[in-house]
Amino acid sequence: MRSDAIKIGTERAGARALLYGTGVTDSELKRPFIGICSSFTDLIPGHFGMRSLERAIEKGVHTGGGHSFIFCVPGICDGIAMGHAGMYYSLPLRDLITDSIECVVQAHALDGVVFLTNCDKITPGMLMAAARLDIPSIFVTAGPMPTGVWRMKKRSFINDTFEAIGRFKLGEIDAAELSNLEHSACPAEGACQGLFTANTMACLTEVLGLSLPGCATALAGQAKKLRIAFESGVAVSALVKDGITPSKILNGNAFHNAIVVDMALGGSTNTALHLPAIANEAGVPLDFNSFDKVSRTTPHITSINPGGKFYMEDLDNAGGIPAVQKQLLPLLKDNLTVSGYKVSEIAESAVVFDDNIIRPLSNPYHSEGGIAVLYGNIAREGSVIKQTAVSTDMLVFTGSAKVFDSEEVAMDAIMNGGIANGDVVVIRYEGPKGGPGMREMLAPTSAIMGLKLNRVALITDGRFSGGSRGPCIGHISPEAADGGEIALIKDGDKISIDVPNRKIELLVSSAELEERKAAWVKPPSKFKKGYLAKYQRSVKSATTGGITNY
């Protein structure tokens, strides 16, 4: 066992003494040492209920023959960090989590790890760590939040808070109604109710084969989730015994399947950042264009909030990810999973309880998948859009640029009547380096929808929350801070968007763009010290997954 390095031999007397000091017994010293990497925190609704899951995992580890040790990593709630300086830290946290897990696991020579996660950048950070360390690993995602209820109607986080702000601004609802919606939108523990980043990544973790079947959609706080947590604790010891590590699972087939399911679900565009970063750690080539290639041949078979009418609780009731895999089986590649079953076995044994929530390939909601990759003279390296969350009449659109060099300035203009139908809102210097940290633009996109600006597009070198909907194009690369053409756009320039043909063009002559580029001056960094300054020096383009240099 790896842990023999700290347990065996006369020269390890000091290490054993310290382990005895934690309460470890002689019999437990002979067991595999299993880390429970928990992201518990009171700060995040998706994480504050994790103490009960830690206990369930712990029981499972000991039942399976291992000895568990809980250690923790930091967490950020993107919804709370949104719209202010806190969002600079969200994406950088992903890499901080990966590095911190490496430090703890390697320093203590753990034999295996159960990763307890749920929200936003925490799950991909843990997945990157599992791929990098390549020791037996299994994931427990803490589960989606149930919908709230107000006025006998289901309520959810994005629609009834961020978008409600625009409705309040229009005078459609008063302050008392806004307050009631705030109190109803997040009724319990769990990740926000739709296919935002947290739940999208939970689904893809299951598809990748690193969590047990049914884990992704099992609601937070329910006994079903506790049982999955216990069984995951049991399973990790079997993985240690059999030598099943992530490298035996995270191969080309696994990432292909993840992209197929992502496209079929219509998940968050953040997956175009996270899957390449995880693949990079696993040593698996993953082309940015793979998302578009798979999307063109994968029908969109669910209609999940924010772009659709159903919620994660409905997806779970309809059969969860195994049922999605059943419908998609002709498009999937067989592969091993931590459950011991292959992808084909899980899919074939699944039951689709509602074929309107999870439709067959012959009756999709859209003929293509969720994400499209657009190219053009302001996105030479690419950009992404969630095409299934765009109304049909906005898939092809030409508008006039309204240019802003930060999210805050853009938000002020949106909320104070500075944007009109026919505009293309350009938010730049918010990329991986320029932000730094590639802030999410949920507040501006939600305000635009709430204000009923239905003929407005938004483009950015930043990114979007999984909760964003409408013609929102992000990850524009090269970013403005690297001198990308998005830095050269001026107010009033015409911008053409053609999603079916995968094009985004600034309708300005090449000669004019060259003149503007010659006059461009790189702005100074916003941060001179601290973690963000360090991150800015090492982070790469969004098309690489925003990975950092070692």
* pLDDT tens profile 285-306: 998 899 999 999 999 999 999 8
Mean pLDDT of 460-471: 84
Asked whether residue 192 is domain-assigned, the answer is yes
The pLDDT of residue 5 is: 96
Say yes or no: 132 and 268 in one domain: yes
Q: How far apart are CA 21 and CA 5, in angstroms?
A: 18
Asked whether residue 421 is domain-assigned, the answer is yes
Mean pLDDT of 433-452: 89
Query: Please, are residues 201 and 124 in contact by the beta-carbon 8 Å criterion?
Result: yes
Asked whether residue 533 is domain-assigned, the answer is yes
Counting DSSP H helices and E strands in the chain, the numbers are 21, 14
The neighbouring-strand residues paired with 38 are 72, 116
Beta strand spans in 225-378 (E): 371-376
Given a cut of 90, whether residue 169 has pLDDT beyond it is: no
The pLDDT of residue 449 is: 85
Mean pLDDT of 224-248: 98
Say yes or no: 322 and 230 in one domain: yes
**Distant-in-sequence, close-in-space partners of 266: CB < 8 Å, separation ≥ 6:** 195, 300, 302, 303, 304, 307, 308, 366, 369, 370, 386, 388, 389
Say yes or no: 413 and 302 in one domain: no
Say yes or no: 330 and 402 in one domain: no
The pLDDT of residue 443 is: 84
The pLDDT of residue 550 is: 63
Say yes or no: 219 and 103 in one domain: yes
For 332-337, which contacts have Cβ atoms below 8 Å and span 24 or more sequence positions?
Answer: 332/256, 332/257, 332/260, 333/253, 333/256, 333/257, 334/253, 335/209, 335/249, 335/251, 335/253, 335/254, 335/257, 336/209, 336/244, 336/248, 336/249, 337/209, 337/210, 337/213, 337/249
Lowest mean pLDDT among 185-189, 316-320, 441-445, 495-499: 441-445
Mean pLDDT of the chain: 95
Mean pLDDT of 265-285: 96
Kindly write down the DSSP assignment for every residue of 170-227, as one continuous string: HTSS-HHHHHHHHHHH--SSSB-SSSSHHHHHHHHHHHHTSS-TTTTTSPTTSHHHHH
Mean pLDDT of 260-283: 96
Reading across the β-sheet that carries 112-117, which strands appear in turn?
67-72, 33-38, 112-117, 137-141
Say yes or no: 201 and 247 in one domain: yes
Residue 108 sits in a domain whose CATH number is 3.40.50.2300
Say yes or no: 133 and 162 in one domain: no
Q: How far apart are CA 168 and CA 451, in angstroms?
A: 9
Q: What percentage of the chain has pLDDT greater than the value 70?
A: 100
**Distant-in-sequence, close-in-space partners of 543: CB < 8 Å, separation ≥ 6:** 276, 288, 381, 382, 475, 477
Q: Looking up tokens 């739940």, which residue turns up?
A: 199
Q: Where are the alpha helices (DSSP H) in 300-342?
A: 312-317, 320-328
- The domain total for the chain is 3
The pLDDT of residue 540 is: 94
Asked whether residue 7 is domain-assigned, the answer is no
62 pLDDT band, cuts 50/70/90, is very high
Query: Please, are residues 229 and 138 in contact by the beta-carbon 8 Å criterion?
Result: no
Mean pLDDT of 37-41: 98
User: Which are the catalytic amino acids?
Assistant: 465
Paired tokens of 14: 């000091």
Say yes or no: 72 and 112 in one domain: yes
Bridge pairing between strands 112-117 and 33-38: parallel
Assign residue 168 a region (left: φ > 0; alpha: ψ between -120 and 50; beta: otherwise): alpha
Question: Which tens digit of pLDDT belongs to each residue from 98-123?
Answer: 999 999 999 999 999 999 999 999 99
pTM: 0.95
Say yes or no: 181 and 198 in one domain: no
Question: Which tens digit of pLDDT belongs to each residue from 180-209?
Answer: 999 999 999 999 999 999 999 999 999 999
Query: Please, are residues 156 and 150 in contact by the beta-carbon 8 Å criterion?
Result: no
SS3 state of residue 377: coil
Question: Which tens digit of pLDDT belongs to each residue from 123-149?
Answer: 999 999 999 999 999 999 999 999 999
Say yes or no: 415 and 510 in one domain: yes
What phi and psi values does residue 288 have, to the nearest 5 degrees?
-55, -35
Residue 381 sits in a domain whose CATH number is 3.50.30.80
Question: Which tens digit of pLDDT belongs to each residue from 7-20?
Answer: 999 999 999 999 99
Range of the domain at 406: 371-544
Q: How far apart are CA 385 and CA 391, in angstroms?
A: 12
Q: What percentage of the chain has pLDDT greater than the value 90?
A: 91
Say yes or no: 163 and 140 in one domain: no
